[in-house]
């Protein structure tokens, strides 16, 4: 019995990582919006604190938000469209009423911050800075109300301004969630690094639409929403590779995300340059997928003579390179 336990512990040590100075039990990260404010997932029968490296909490704004009109979700071929509209009780309520219910010895918890102005991002960051949260993920895909509704994340200058403001407000790790809906994601990453980000999450959802052909109206009450799931995986994989070319020069780690459902997907993202792997849509139909993926990583490492998962990161060999 002891030898089997020791073997299991040895195997798990192969996938334990350091991400932005934080110790993760596993490279797997549960993405914002998919597991509520954490306790919804950790109380699932079968959850183990060795299953995941971190859990990203639901997107939070300075003041409470009711979110978008229904329908907010639509299943599509090989994916899902969502337009929740950042429904949340406000950052102070999350810090005062939600965080005390989390067991920070189980795993790492990352707040997800959103705002309509640079000042709002900074204010939310200051509130979470005075809390036990381990790190903060900045959702820069929100529209800037002072710039005609242009999303912060689609403009490198705006992105850098948000990161700079958040950096002033905290010494905790900042992870910038990059949008795929922009011209040059690598340039945006470079500007965010200069502004002080500690890590990246690549990518956020792509914008999409689904139509009710009987009513000839969009299914989503907001008309459009964020597309996630296997349909976006090839795009996400390319964006991770592009950001990695910049990030590796500064030792900035990446959470690769977008359509990951199989162990093959996990390995691809690691090879492309992701240090950690974000899971979202897959959790809706297989909530306990994490142990299977962790074992799959270990099996791949053993088969290919890697001693640790970090040795696999960024090993992509391009044709003609």
Domains located in the chain, CATH noted: 2-311 (3.20.20.70)
Burial of 311 (0-12, 13-18, 19+ CB in 10 A): middle
What pLDDT digit, counting tens, does each position of 48-64 carry? Answer: 777 999 999 999 999 99
Could you read off the pLDDT of 238-291 as tens digits, one per residue? 999 999 999 999 999 999 999 999 999 999 999 999 999 999 999 988 989 999
Catalytic entry in 20, 34, 56, 142: 142
Q: How confident is the model at residue 38 (pLDDT cuts 50, 70, 90)?
A: confident
Closest residue by Cα to residue 118 from 154, 143, 135: 143
276 within 8 A of 244, measured Cβ to Cβ: no
Give φ, ψ of 32 to 5 degrees.
-60, 140
- Which pLDDT score is estimated for 238? 98
For the cut 80, the answer to whether the pLDDT of residue 231 exceeds it is: yes
Nearest 5°: the CA angle 137, 121, 205 is: 45
Question: Per-residue pLDDT tens for 63-117?
Answer: 999 999 999 999 999 999 999 999 999 999 999 999 999 999 889 999 999 999 9
pLDDT in tens, 189-202: 999 999 999 999 99
pLDDT of residue 182: 87
pLDDT average, residue stretch 149-163 = 85
The answer to whether residue 142 is catalytic is: yes
pLDDT at residue 294 greater than cutoff 60: yes
Q: Is the confidence at residue 40, as pLDDT, over 90?
A: no
Strand (E) or helix (H) holding 296: helix 290-303
Can you give the pTM of this predicted structure? 0.94
């Amino acid at each position: 019995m002891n030898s089997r336990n020791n073997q299991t512990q040895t195997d798990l040590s192969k996938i334990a990582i350091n991400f932005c100075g934080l110790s993760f039990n596993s490279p797997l990260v549960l993405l914002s919006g998919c597991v509520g404010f954490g306790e919804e997932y950790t109380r699932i029968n079968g959850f183990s604190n060795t299953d995941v490296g971190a859990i990203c909490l639901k997107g939070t704004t300075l003041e409470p938000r009711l979110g978008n009109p229904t329908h907010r979700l639509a299943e599509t071929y090989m994916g899902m469209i969502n337009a929740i509209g950042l429904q949340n009780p406000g950052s102070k309520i999350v810090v005062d009423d939600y965080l005390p219910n989390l067991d920070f010895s189980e795993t790492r918890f990352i707040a997800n911050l959103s705002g309509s102005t640079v000042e709002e991002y900074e204010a939310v960051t200051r509130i979470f800075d005075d809390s036990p949260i381990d790190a903060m993920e900045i959702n820069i895909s929100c529209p800037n109300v002072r710039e005609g509704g242009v999303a912060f994340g689609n403009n490198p200058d705006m992105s850098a301004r948000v990161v700079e403001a958040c950096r002033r407000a905290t010494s905790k790790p900042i992870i910038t969630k990059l949008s795929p809906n922009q011209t040059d994601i690598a340039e945006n990453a470079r500007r965010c690094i200069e502004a002080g980000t500690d890590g990246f999450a690549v990518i956020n959802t792509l914008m999409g639409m689904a139509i009710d052909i009987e009513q000839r109206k969009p299914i989503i009450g907001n008309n459009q929403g964020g597309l996630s799931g296997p349909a976006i995986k090839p795009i996400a994989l390319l964006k991770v590779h592009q950001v990695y070319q910049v990030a590796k020069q500064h030792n900035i780690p990446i959470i690769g995300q977008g359509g990951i459902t199989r162990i093959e997907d996990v390995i691809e993202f690691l090879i492309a340059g992701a240090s950690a792997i974000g899971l979202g849509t897959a959790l809706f139909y297989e909530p306990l997928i994490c142990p299977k993926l962790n074992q799959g990583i270990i099996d791949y490492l053993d088969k290919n003579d890697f001693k640790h998962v970090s040795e696999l990161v960024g090993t992509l060999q391009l044709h003609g390179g």
